[in-house]
Structure 1
Amino acid sequence: MSAVAKLLGQKEQPLARLEADPGSNECAEIQALLAKVETGLKQDSAAAGEDQ
């Protein structure tokens, strides 16, 4: 499994949790998780661009 696929898989669960209308504390935790995943995706994308 590629790193991108793994990160996208990790993104699905927090998105589903957001749809369940979480409280403000849980929402902040979910946003932090999503930010980490997005950072990983951007880093992987940048690394892929350097390889070309």
Structure 2
Amino acid sequence: MTTAAKLLAQKQQLLERLQEDPGPNERAEIERLLQQIDTALNLLDAGGAGGSGEEPD
């Protein structure tokens, strides 16, 4: 699984947790993690890594 795919999977899990109506502290933590994932995805995209983010063999 590529780095981008892993990040997208984590993002999906966090979005699902948000739909479960978490408490304010958990909501803040989830939103913080979502921001980190979005930043990482943007960096991967800007770096032209082709979405893999993995070293070739």
Higher RCO (CA 8 Å, separation ≥ 6 residues): 2
- TM-score under structure 2 length normalisation: 0.78
CA RMSD of aligned residues (A): 1.2
Identity value in percent: 49
- Name structure 1 gaps, 5 residues minimum: none
- Structure 1 stretches of 4+ with a deviation exceeding 6 A read none
Q: Quote the offset at 1:30 in angstroms.
A: 0.3
Give 1:25's aligned residue.
25
Q: Quote the offset at 1:46 in angstroms.
A: 0.3
Q: 1:44 & 1:37 partners in 2: Cα distance?
A: 11
Q: How many residues align?
A: 49
Q: Quote the offset at 1:4 in angstroms.
A: 1.2
